[in-house]
Amino acid sequence: MRTKSTELMQRIGSFIDRYYSEWHTTPSVKEIADGVGISKTASYRYLVEMDARGMLKYDGTSRTIITPMIRKFSAGTVAAPVVGVVPCGTPEEEEENIQEYVSLPVSLFGKGEFYILRASGDSMVDAGILDGDMVVIRKQTEAKVGDLVVALDENGTSTLKKYGGIDPETHMAVLLYQNREVYPDKKILVRRLVVQGVAKHVIRAL
């Protein structure tokens, strides 16, 4: 095996840190190769060698790479994937597609597993959620009456609504619109409600 270049290892480590600082996720083996001007095979071998030397953590299979800078940065944050759009209106089908990762400070958002959805529609404006807002969702399968939930019904469609409990007449779960001016008293009834998470925060540019 050829001797590995220490200078190239430092360049790889610096590239990973810069990439993480910009995109809040680590680069792929190919992105590292392109970033420092080496082949994909060489990039992989260098990552394995750097792991062996304790310069970073790399399991050899996943995209996850942990450098000392990333470890220090990540200690006070949680990484939340941005997975697309959730309709704030009539339920629509949604494909989970991770677009990027956002680092959320634990001091502000708390610990737990989160993901972020971009709101689409106007049915939640009375709850402070506007069209285009990035909504931070805590992953959980249970909700209390009054929670703002990302709900999946028996038809496999999802929407962001306020959970109104169980309707006493139909015994169906109630999802409430939160825009009294446009949708007065409008609600959705579902026979089997599957909660995908509860909205906890909104990220919006002023």
What's the pLDDT tens digit per position in 83-92? Answer: 888 877 766 5
**Residue 120: active-site member:** no
Which of residues 52, 74, 96 is at a domain's end? 74
Pair (37, 89) in one structural domain? no
pLDDT above 50: residue 42: yes
- CATH number, position 44: 1.10.10.10
Q: Is residue 98 part of a domain?
A: yes
Bridge partners (DSSP) of residue 199 are 137
What CA–CA distances, in Å, run from 167 to 71, 92, 144, 173? 48, 22, 14, 6
Q: What's the domain range around 69?
A: 6-74
Q: Is residue 1 part of a domain?
A: no
Q: Which of 43, 158, 161, 162 is catalytic?
A: 161
The model's pTM:
0.65
Assigned token pair, 141: 């399968």
pLDDT digits 0-9 by tens, 43-71: 999 999 999 999 999 988 877 888 887 77
3-state secondary structure of 180: coil
Pair (101, 196) in one structural domain? yes
Number of folded domains in the chain?
2
Given pLDDT bands bounded at 50, 70 and 90, which one contains residue 16? very high
Write phi, then psi, for 167 (nearest 5 degrees): -65, 125
Q: Using CA atoms, how far apart are residues 177 and 122, in angstroms rounded to an integer?
A: 9
Whole-number mean pLDDT of the chain?
87
Pair (90, 185) in one structural domain? yes
Identify which has the larger pLDDT, 119 or 24: 119
Assigned token pair, 159: 């929407």
- Contacts for 169 with CB less than 8 Å, ≥ 6 apart: none
Q: Using CA atoms, how far apart are residues 159 and 129, in angstroms rounded to an integer?
A: 13
Which of residues 74, 105, 125 is at a domain's end? 74
Pair (187, 91) in one structural domain? yes
- In 3D space, the residue among 149, 167, 166, 170 whose CA is nearest the CA of residue 158 turns out to be 149
Residue by residue, what is the 3-state secondary structure of 96-151?
Answer: CCCCEEEEEEHHHHCCCCEEEEEEECCCCHHHCCCCCCEEEEECCCCCCCCCEEEE
**Residue 39: active-site member:** no
